[in-house]
Amino acid sequence: MVSKYSVFVVPHTHWDRAWYVPFEEFRLRLVRMIDRLADTLEKDSAFSCFVLDGQAVVLDDYLQIRPQAAERLRALIKNKRLYVGPWYVLPDEFLVSPESLIRNLIYGLKISKSFGRAMKVGYVPDSFGHIGQLPQLLQGFGIDSFVFFRGLEQEKKDLDLEFYWQSPDGSKVLASRQHPFYGNGTHLGYVTNWGDTEVMVQSFQDAVEKVDKSCKMLLELTRSRVLLLGNGIDQADHQPDLPRILKRLSRKFPQYDFRIASFEDYVNALQRSLNGTRLKTHNGELIYRFGDLLGGVYSSRMYMKMQNQHCEDLLEKWTEPVAAAAWLTGCQPYPQDEIAYAWKELLKTHPHDDVCGSSIDQVHKEAVVRMDAVDQVGRMLHRTALRMLALNVDHTRQTGVPVMLFNTLGVRRKEVVRIDIDLCPQSENWKSLQLVDEKGREVPFEWLGSERVHWWEAVKPFDVVRHCCELEVDLPACSYKTLYAREGKSAKLTPAIRVGAKSFENNFYTLGIQSNGTLTLHDKKTRNRYENLLVFEDTEDCGDEYNWSYLPENSETITTEKSRPAIERLHSGPFSATWRITHTLELPESLAEDRKRRSRKRARLVIETDVTCRAGSPRVDLVTRVNNTIKDHRLRALFPTQIETDTVQVDGHFAVIDRPIAHPAPKETSPYGCPLPPYTTQHVLRFASLSQKRNGFAIINDGMPEFEVLQHGKTRTLAQTLFRAVGWLGRDDFPTRPYSASPKIQAPEAQCLMPMEFRYAFMAHAGDWHPVMNEALRHNIAICATRGDIHGGTDLRQMGLRLEDERALQKYLPVPRDGKLPDAMQFIDLGVESLILSAFKKCEWNNNLIVRVYNPGPDTVKTTLKLFKPVRTVWLTDLNEKRIKTLRCEGVKVPIECKPFKIVTVEIAG
């Protein structure tokens, strides 16, 4: 007798916190849904379990309204009736930082376990593709399975439903694709997949037909005797009559054993069923370019993408490292609760409908406000920690106002920086300003001007004079040093650059500005020459928030190639030079009313770009400002390279990825019955690079995660998307995606009719992307600077400030200058620049230090970490900061090995 197929019917909901309605409206639906669900689970033992979409944030959302229900949920979760986690939120994996994905799982598991347990399945049903390192992340949290919907299309023919998915480092998980999507068993007995079944007339015949069709589809693709049906869909209530329907279906289909189950139950049964079966393996990203991945979300509402990366960088690269340094040196307690609060607030903007910019306007208004709050918290925590650290430095060796500079990156920074030094109003009358280092050596700098600002850093606000200075600094990785500002003769400057009317030269390159505003770069090291750099391209966008689209007829693209812009040199000094190039384009103001061509009515778009070159830097830095007045269009910056290559190196999540440039369209139609053209734009984190032997060229971006490689015969052009402007959440009438991805709702604020600023850069290199990685970090992450003699009760008169009210008579403790810390200090040295410092923070579970690094490349890196003080014990941990094994340590040294594309986390006890 042939054994039955086990059909695991998993009741679930895919809960978008916000999408085509705002968060609070969806939250009220969530409260109603969980109330009813809990009643069913408690009353009907046959309805054995329900999955709350693989995320724990729904507990927070629900309990803010129903705090009295916490114990009720805890009992259901502990007894495996209700499943939550492992994520805090279900994120878009590409549009958030690598480290944020780790924090997402840390907080998701922590919250879930506080309610009894967490679901240990890598369930990600609806994200728009999957990063190649997700198997390593899941394995780092003890999760060995992955259940998903999007990411494969043509590969489906080769991989079956079940396959091994492998990260670049070799980590594997068992992957199971939900086919044809995550709701293939929803609303059994009802014609529609949406709505409240309690007000619908049931049709058992519909359940029979739906199950028969779904199971036959699965049987064609599976290699197991275990089938998965998802009884749920977006914002869906549970189906209370499911146990009774499955009982009837069991009689109708004797070849199937239907059971209500969780994803954990399904995965466990699947692993047993596949025992001994040789499965195929898929390596790397799941981003099939002709599938339903909605690639235009990388450029929708670009202002949000930039704000999100700013918040991530603030927490990861400023707040946590400086707070850890202040805590490790005994200057202040580590603000763990405050940082966790900021992280969780930021993570609430990481679901795909939020960070992708693919919701109604109100959703994104609220996301911007939430990110503003994260910025406030992060900056306050960073500023406080930096001030407390600086306050404990010994400043007795030099006179003057101490100024602390802190490099929070894991790489050395020898570069030109601009810093603000806040001094007393009397400094306006100084004949000159002098800077010296901790040893009294004069530091050359250029004074760029001063202004009076209202200063809020003490008990009572008052005015100070803010002096802007440009200087070259040399800071080791993760270190600070102190400079002293005082009245005195400035050091003599010896320029290391040559500046002409429209030209610049340093030790790396020469740059020329042409009359049409394009740039010509000559790389001194490789002798390669790049011309026509920085052409702006504007073209129509007749798509929606999910996808850019050209017009099938009457497409119209306008460039600045023949422009005659205004070119002005803003600054020429011993350390840097800046030019402003201003183009004024006459563009169609929108699409025509019939959306079949661009409007004949024109409007002006002013594109203002500052081009900055610095001594000792291989980069050319760009800041483009646009006050967008045009609808339905996309603006990009083009960088022709003359490089002949078929691949592009892309900064990805915990890895630099080689991606193919060409994507020939498949002959097959899509699941929607129509052929889809290749979607040629790609995702990028901080840089994209082209190489041909010793000829290399890269573009760096600060929060603009979309680019494209354009093909001109054999040569390649890098196109950096600045923004695109559309007016619809979803449409179904354009060629790059001729079907609907969402309700057809207008979203006028997605037109981005606002002032915007875009920071990016380009550089030549000798065919190796490693220097580009570090230059991208230096470009995006500023060096921290603060005055070093400030505390909350600063004596204003001591700073040379006088107030004519009674509070000026209040006595305060003097600001000490004889602190316990040296005026220059390095906290950790990675020993190499080929590893990236991902986290420098306090452990989630104890009072030890966590250091996380990763190897983005294909070569094993052996190095020795050097700490600022001897360490007692060091452990290798998983990504959840749980100990795996003890590592050898020698005083301040910790030898480590980081294999290709590996993430390494160590816990250090001092």
Backbone angles phi, psi at 19, to 5 degrees: -165, -100
| SS percent in the chain: helix, strand, coil, step 5 | 25, 35, 45
The pLDDT assigned to 734 comes to: 94
The residue among 429 and 378 whose pLDDT is bigger is 378
Closest CA to 534 of 656, 680, 446, 636: 636
Q: Is 886 helix (H, G, I), strand (E, B) or coil?
A: strand
User: Which of 547-576 are b and which e, b meaning 16 or more Cβ less than 10 Å from the residue's Cβ?
Assistant: bbbbbeeeeeebbbeebebebebebebbbb
CATH number for position 322: 1.20.1270.50
Work out the pLDDT band at 291, boundaries 50, 70, 90.
low
Cα 27 from Cα 33, distance rounded (Å): 10
The pLDDT assigned to 809 comes to: 56
Backbone angles phi, psi at 893, to 5 degrees: -105, 140
The pLDDT assigned to 456 comes to: 62
Same structural domain for residues 457 and 523?
Answer: no
Q: Tell the residue number behind the tokens 């409908």, with chain if given.
A: 353
741, part of any domain: yes
Query: Around Cβ 736, how many Cβ atoms within 10 Å?
Result: 19
The pLDDT assigned to 425 comes to: 81
Whether 672 has a pLDDT exceeding 80, the answer reads: no
Same structural domain for residues 380 and 450?
Answer: no
From edge to edge, which strands make up the β-sheet containing 883-887? 836-842, 849-854, 903-909, 873-877, 883-887
Same structural domain for residues 151 and 258?
Answer: yes
> What are the tens digits of pLDDT across the range 620-647?
999 999 999 999 999 999 999 999 999 9
Same structural domain for residues 41 and 87?
Answer: yes
The pLDDT assigned to 154 comes to: 59
Cα 390 from Cα 403, distance rounded (Å): 8
Which class for 474: exposed (0-12), middle (13-18), buried (19 or more C-beta within 10 A)? Answer: exposed
CATH number for position 877: 2.60.40.2220
Which class for 114: exposed (0-12), middle (13-18), buried (19 or more C-beta within 10 A)? Answer: middle
> What are the tens digits of pLDDT across the range 833-867?
999 999 999 999 999 999 999 999 999 999 999 99
414, part of any domain: yes
30, part of any domain: yes
Q: Which of 142-156, 670-684, 799-813 has the highest mean pLDDT?
A: 142-156
Same structural domain for residues 201 and 317?
Answer: no
What are the residues whose beta carbons fall under 8 Å from the beta carbon of 251, sequence distance 6 or more? none
The pLDDT assigned to 798 comes to: 46
786, part of any domain: no
135, part of any domain: yes
The residue among 113 and 432 whose pLDDT is bigger is 113
Closest CA to 574 of 622, 615, 524: 615
336, part of any domain: yes
> What are the tens digits of pLDDT across the range 63-90?
999 999 999 999 999 999 999 999 999 9
Q: Is the peptide bond before 86 cis (omega within 30 degrees of 0)?
A: yes
Domain boundary among 240, 263, 288: 288
Same structural domain for residues 845 and 748?
Answer: no
The pLDDT assigned to 67 comes to: 98
Same structural domain for residues 134 and 187?
Answer: yes
Same structural domain for residues 274 and 305?
Answer: no
> What are the tens digits of pLDDT across the range 170-203?
999 999 999 999 999 999 999 887 777 778 888 9
From edge to edge, which strands make up the β-sheet containing 576-588? 566-572, 576-588, 602-614, 619-627, 755-765, 695-701, 687-692, 647-652, 655-660
> What are the tens digits of pLDDT across the range 569-592?
999 999 999 999 999 999 999 999
Greatest CA separation for the chain: 100
pTM: 0.96
Backbone angles phi, psi at 345, to 5 degrees: -65, -40
Same structural domain for residues 279 and 384?
Answer: no
Domain count, the chain: 5
Lookup: tokens for 84: 């939550």
Work out the pLDDT band at 654, boundaries 50, 70, 90.
very high
753, part of any domain: yes
The pLDDT assigned to 795 comes to: 44
Domain of 32?
Answer: 5-288
Work out the pLDDT band at 288, boundaries 50, 70, 90.
confident
Q: Tell the residue number behind the tokens 């390095």, with chain if given.
A: 826
CATH number for position 805: 2.60.40.2210
Work out the pLDDT band at 492, boundaries 50, 70, 90.
confident
Work out the pLDDT band at 457, boundaries 50, 70, 90.
low
The pLDDT assigned to 500 comes to: 98
> What are the tens digits of pLDDT across the range 23-44?
999 999 999 999 999 999 999 9
CATH number for position 773: 2.70.98.30
Lookup: tokens for 762: 């380009």
CATH number for position 150: 3.20.110.10
293, part of any domain: no
Lookup: tokens for 730: 């979803």
Same structural domain for residues 378 and 252?
Answer: no
> What are the tens digits of pLDDT across the range 226-245?
999 999 999 999 999 999 99
Whether 329 has a pLDDT exceeding 90, the answer reads: yes
Work out the pLDDT band at 670, boundaries 50, 70, 90.
low
Same structural domain for residues 507 and 447?
Answer: no
Same structural domain for residues 521 and 451?
Answer: no
Whether 807 has a pLDDT exceeding 70, the answer reads: no
Q: Is 270 helix (H, G, I), strand (E, B) or coil?
A: helix
> What are the tens digits of pLDDT across the range 756-775?
999 999 999 999 999 999 99
Whether 888 has a pLDDT exceeding 70, the answer reads: yes
In the predicted model, what is the mean pLDDT of residues 289-309?
90
Lookup: tokens for 319: 């707040």
